[in-house]
């Protein structure tokens, strides 16, 4: 006997049927996008807000809605969410898009050629495309090639038949990334509507968790005071994502103990085992692929070395080795420098300067983080 009714409803990528406290924003997005179901128009919208405010899940819910509506009206429509944090170059972005639309990754083609293939396909199939460019801010702030932001909205210049077929959602934590774009690219983004998601208040988190618990657990397994307790803890550590992780872990412990309900002690135990940085829980799947590879290299070096710190150069050469293993081109030292500063700022690693050297370390045992990271790198590369 398990406490769960539907365990997978607690996993990060699950898209629940309802989104309590985001009904207004969903309705607004539907209003922006409804015209694409009946007219030849492309819509461009920013969806932005702090971490964990439901940007990804909201857009994916919109994606389901649009695909359903299109089907009812005999319109061919595809929704694709691409996480740009994981795509180091336009080549990777286009390759993912091509894989999702055509079913082949377009190996050996240039991004422009891949886009032409995609355009051919959607014109031939008389199809509309809604592309959510998720974590576009990470992509731009890490100074990756902004060409995709130029290519996608101007697709009709490549092929007139593509006009009105591709709509875009730009998902980001804030709109700061726009200041990094050149005039021409900004121009193409020009008339873009914006939906801002505010941070959830604690009562809202409780409502959302009650709903998620109802879906995932059997009735009365998680009493209201445990939901409140979980909301309270998660509020300062990473929000709903953290809360769902606590609930999933606590339910698993309850099952292993043969307990018929989730207890405060189960929650506490999971809470204590989750690696945290200065900004709350840390999730390697939030990092770009190269930051993940770098972090892995740092951990490998610290493990082998046994001392609290390693030098930047040691980390860099191991990072190069990791890239080779992963079939990725290593980035320049200057970029890695910036990544190290980012990783330090978000609490993944410690950094200190010693004479001319930069020393890197980690302050907590990293078994769990290491395992998660290995899994995440696999998943990231498969996406």
Ligand X SMILES: Nc1ncnc2c1ncn2[C@@H]1O[C@H](COP(=O)(O)OP(=O)(O)OP(=O)(O)O)[C@@H](O)[C@H]1O
Residue 122 phi, psi dihedral angles, 5° rounding: -70, -30
* Burial of residue 262 (number of CB atoms within 10 Å: 0-12, 13-18, 19+): buried
Give the nearer residue to ligand X in terms of CB position, either 22 or 165: 22
Which among ligand X, Mg ion, none contacts residue 136 (Cβ within 5 to 8 A by kind)?
none
Residue of the chain from 42, 46, 52, 250 that contacts ligand X (CB under 6 A): 52
| 61 makes contact with ligand X (CB under 6 A) | no
Q: Please name the residues in contact with 251: beta carbons below 8 A apart, sequence gap of 6 or more.
A: 2, 3, 4, 7, 10, 216, 217, 221, 222, 262, 266
Point out which span in 48-56, 226-234, 341-349, 369-377 binds ligand X (CB under 6 A).
Answer: 48-56
For the chain, how many helices (H) and strands (E)? Answer: 17, 10
Point out which span in 16-24, 96-104, 228-236, 311-319 binds ligand X (CB under 6 A).
Answer: 16-24
CA-wise closest residue to 188 among 174, 178, 173: 178
| 56 makes contact with Mg ion (CB under 5 A) | yes
Tell me the residue number closest to ligand X, measured at CB: 54
Chain centroid, CA 311 distance in Å: 30
Give the nearer residue to Mg ion in terms of CB position, either 56 or 93: 56
Give the nearer residue to ligand X in terms of CB position, either 105 or 277: 277
Point out which span in 2-10, 54-62, 217-225, 284-292 binds Mg ion (CB under 5 A).
Answer: 54-62
Give the pair of three-digit tokens for residue 30: 């539907």
Nearest distance, CB of residue 236 and ligand X, angstroms:
16
| 234 makes contact with Mg ion (CB under 5 A) | no
Point out which span in 25-33, 48-56, 192-200, 221-229 binds Mg ion (CB under 5 A).
Answer: 48-56
Q: How many CB atoms lie within 10 A of CB 256?
A: 9
Interface with ligand X (CB under 6 A), residue total: 20
- Pairing of the two strands 127-134 and 166-172: parallel
C-alpha torsion angle, residues 96, 101, 104, 110 (rounded to 10): -60
Point out which span in 53-61, 121-129, 266-274, 349-357 binds Mg ion (CB under 5 A).
Answer: 53-61
Point out which span in 17-25, 32-40, 267-275, 306-314 binds ligand X (CB under 6 A).
Answer: 17-25
| 149 makes contact with ligand X (CB under 6 A) | no
> Beta-strand (E) ranges in 279-382?
280-281, 310-311, 350-354, 357-361
Answer whether 47's CB lies under 8 Å from 171's CB: yes
Nearest distance, CB of residue 145 and ligand X, angstroms:
22
Footprint of ligand X on 289-348 (CB under 6 A): none
| 208 makes contact with ligand X (CB under 6 A) | yes
Which among Mg ion, ligand X, none contacts residue 51 (Cβ within 5 to 8 A by kind)?
ligand X
| 288 makes contact with ligand X (CB under 6 A) | no
Give the nearer residue to ligand X in terms of CB position, either 199 or 375: 199
Residue of the chain from 128, 173, 291, 296 that contacts ligand X (CB under 6 A): 173
Footprint of ligand X on 225-254 (CB under 6 A): 240-241, 244
Q: How many CB atoms lie within 10 A of CB 178?
A: 18
Give the nearer residue to ligand X in terms of CB position, either 111 or 238: 238
* Burial of residue 201 (number of CB atoms within 10 Å: 0-12, 13-18, 19+): exposed
User: Helix (H, G, I), strand (E, B), or coil: what is residue 221?
Assistant: coil
Give the nearer residue to ligand X in terms of CB position, either 22 or 46: 22
Q: Which long-range contacts (CB under 8 A, 24 or more apart) does 178-186 make?
A: 180/140, 180/141, 180/143, 180/146, 181/140, 181/146, 181/149, 182/146, 184/150, 185/146, 185/149, 185/150
Nearest distance, CB of residue 168 and Mg ion, angstroms:
16
- Give residues in contact with ligand X (CB under 6 A): 12, 16, 19-22, 51-57, 173, 208, 212, 240-241, 244, 286
């Amino acid at each position: 006997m398990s406490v769960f009714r539907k365990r997978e409803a607690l996993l990060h990528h699950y898209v629940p049927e309802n989104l309590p406290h985001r009904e207004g924003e969903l309705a607004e997005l539907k209003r922006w996008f409804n015209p694409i179901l009946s007219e030849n128009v492309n819509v461009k919208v920013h969806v932005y807000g702090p971490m964990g405010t439901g940007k990804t899940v909201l857009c994916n819910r919109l994606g389901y809605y649009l695909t359903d509506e299109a089907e009812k009206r005999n319109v061919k429509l595809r929704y694709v969410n691409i996480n740009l944090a994981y795509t180091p170059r336009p080549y990777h972005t286009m390759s993912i898009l091509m894989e999702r639309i055509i079913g082949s990754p377009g190996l050996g083609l240039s991004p422009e050629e891949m886009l032409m293939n995609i355009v051919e396909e959607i014109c031939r199939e008389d199809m509309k495309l809604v592309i959510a460019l998720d974590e576009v801010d990470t992509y731009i702030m890490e100074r990756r090639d902004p060409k995709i932001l130029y290519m996608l909205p101007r697709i009709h210049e490549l092929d007139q038949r593509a006009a009105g077929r591709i709509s875009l959602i730009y998902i980001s934590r804030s709109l700061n990334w726009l200041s990094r774009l050149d005039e021409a690219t900004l121009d193409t983004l020009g008339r873009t509507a914006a939906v801002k998601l505010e941070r959830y208040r604690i009562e809202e988190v409780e409502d959302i968790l009650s709903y998620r618990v109802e879906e995932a657990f059997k009735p009365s397994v998680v009493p209201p005071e445990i939901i409140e307790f979980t909301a309270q803890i998660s509020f300062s550590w990473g929000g709903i994502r953290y809360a769902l992780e606590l609930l999933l872990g606590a339910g698993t412990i309850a099952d292993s103990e043969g307990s018929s309900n989730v207890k405060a002690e189960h929650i506490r135990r999971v809470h204590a085992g989750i690696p945290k940085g200065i900004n709350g829980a840390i999730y390697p799947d939030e990092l770009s692929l190269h930051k993940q590879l770098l972090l892995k290299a740092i951990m490998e070096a610290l493990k082998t070395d046994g001392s609290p710190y390693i030098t930047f150069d040691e980390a860099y050469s191991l990072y190069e080795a990791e890239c080779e293993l992963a079939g990725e081109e290593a980035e320049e030292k200057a970029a890695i420098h910036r990544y190290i500063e980012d990783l330090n700022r978000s609490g993944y690693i410690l950094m200190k300067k010693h004479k001319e050297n930069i020393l890197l370390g980690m302050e907590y045992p990293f078994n769990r983080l290491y395992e998660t990271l290995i899994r995440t790198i696999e998943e990231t590369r498969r996406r």
